[in-house]
Amino acid sequence: MFGKFGRKKSADTLTLEVIGVITGAEQFDLGKNNSKGTQIAHKYARDLDRIIQRNRRVMDSDTLQFLRDSHRHFKSLAKTASSIAEGPIMSGPMPGVAVPLNVKANPDWQEKFTAFRDEMRGAAAQVFEKQYLPGFRALPAYEPTKEQELAGRIIMSLR
């Protein structure tokens, strides 16, 4: 019953997530002043490493190369601090822990992330068109009714 919650992401799911991060379709929460950027990059690097090791023999060569390049970039982002502490530092909840009162986004991390997106955008589009777009084109066309369209507009206006 709860087995699906213990499963790791599949190769297809992770590939589509990485494509979304590169193209900007996947907006992940970087936190205030980019404070979570390094943690998110580390998570993607770890997941990509696991997927590459597990599925390298059964994957398409273009997809595998795309995932390897993405892994290299995420690993580089994970090694760079995404935010910089500035100003006074307060003692934390435990001895030996310091918490900065003010943080600002690290411009070096932001430049690396932008360069990563710019460099990998073409490869992401190529992998998506080759692997996933034919499946989307095979889906039947869907036309929402007027009520569904109105409900969708109302829901979107509430966000």
Residue whose token pair is 């869907």: 142
pLDDT at 29: 66
As a whole number of angstroms, the distance between CA 42 and CA 141 comes to 39
Tokens of 129: 């068109």
CA dist list (Å): 91 to 12, 28, 99, 104, 105:
44, 30, 6, 19, 22
Strands (E), the chain: 83-91, 98-105
pLDDT at 4: 63
pLDDT at 132: 84
Residue whose token pair is 């992998």: 127
Q: Are 45 and 78 in contact (CB under 8 A)?
A: yes
48: Cβ–Cβ under 8 A, 6 or more apart, which residues?
Answer: 14, 18, 67, 70, 71, 74
pLDDT at 121: 92
As a whole number of angstroms, the distance between CA 153 and CA 25 comes to 20
Please indicate, yes or no, whether the overall pTM of this predicted structure exceeds 0.85: no
User: What digits encode the pLDDT tens for the residues 96-137?
Assistant: 666 666 778 888 988 999 999 999 999 999 998 898 888 766
As a whole number of angstroms, the distance between CA 77 and CA 116 comes to 9
CA dist list (Å): 151 to 109, 132, 141, 143:
40, 29, 20, 14
Residues of the chain with pLDDT under 50: none
As a whole number of angstroms, the distance between CA 5 and CA 73 comes to 28
pLDDT at 32: 72
